[in-house]
Every structure is written in C-alpha cells, then in structure tokens.
Amino acid sequence: MENGHYLCSVCADARTLAEEVERHRPDLLLIAADDPSRDMVEQICVQSQFRERPIVMLTESDDPDAMRAAVGAGVAAYVVAGFKPERMGAVLEVALLRFNFEREQFATIAASKRRDAEQQTISKAKAWFRRQGLSESDAYAQLRTLAMRQRCTVAEAAERVLGA
C-alpha cells in the first residue's frame, strides 16, 4: 500500500490484458508499453467500454497515430519518453481529473439529450390533445392530471398517451 492506494503490477500483453483486469479489477489502469500495438489499444478500448476507469499509458512511441488511437480507446493520459517516477503522482492526478471531467461532460450531454427527448414527447402528446379540440394550456393540464393520477412524470404520461 502506498499513499493510501493498493498497487498491483502485472505483466500483460494484448492477449492477457482482459484476464488480468478481470482478476484484479483496478480502479485505474497504468499501462507501460514501449510501442503499443494495435491489439493492445483494442484491448484498452474493450476494457474501458465495460467499466469506466482512468487509463494512463507510459510509452516511448511519439507516433501521432498511436496517440490518437490510444486517446480514442479511452486513455486519459499518454506520457511519452523521459518519464520520471517522481512525477507519477502528478500524472495520475491529472488522469483522474481529466477522466472525471469527461465523465461529467458526458453525463451533462446525456441529461440534456434526455430532456430534449422528453420535451419532444410532451409536445407530440400536446399536439395529439390539440387535435382533439383542447387548447395548448388545457392539453398540458390534461397531461399533468394524467401524470398525477398514474404517479409518473409528465413525459411518461405523454409516452403513454402516444402509445395508446
């Protein structure tokens, strides 16, 4: 245990990375690879898709294509050549900050998309009520009443109206 963290070092390649990650279930992946192969980057992508976690890659490769592939696979920090062990804490901290920032951004975007979809559903349901002869305010009041009766949100009530 170091600085309140448990460290586990394993020797893994593209074929064994998934098995090692499953066995140890780390909160953060630190990958040291002189020249990350396409298979390794693909495995990183697979690992980050099943469980979100920050990934730090230490490498000697300054190939822009390798960097793009690694970042696209979910690598939060890509450190090229000349890494000094005393900088490890700062590198991990930046990776965690970046990872959390991106996760918050994605959550904000997802919430915004969900709200937009709900508003579209509500608008469609109001339009349906308006075709039945209700005014806009009465159509919304009808949706609210329905939502209260069914103990659901207005958006869920709108979905039920449209699905009926």
Q: pLDDT tens digits, residue range 40-99?
A: 777 777 766 666 788 888 888 888 888 888 888 888 888 887 778 888 888 888 888 988
Query: At the top level of CATH, which class does the domain 17-83 belong to?
Result: alpha beta
Whole-number pLDDT of residue 132 = 93
Pairing of strands 77-80, 55-59: parallel
Q: Do domains 17-83 and 113-163 have the same CATH topology?
A: no
Q: pLDDT tens digits, residue range 95-111?
A: 889 888 988 999 999 99
Which strands sit side by side in the sheet containing 77-80, from one edge to the other? 29-33, 55-59, 77-80
**Domain ranges for the chain:** 17-83, 113-163
Whole-number pLDDT of residue 148 = 96
CA dist., res. 149 & res. 2, Å (int): 56
- pTM for this entry: 0.64
Residue 118 reports pLDDT greater than 80:
yes
What is the Cα gyration radius of the chain?
24
Check whether domain 113-163 has CATH 1.10.10, yes or no: yes
Residue 2 reports pLDDT greater than 80:
no
pLDDT exceeding 70 applies to what percent of the chain? 92
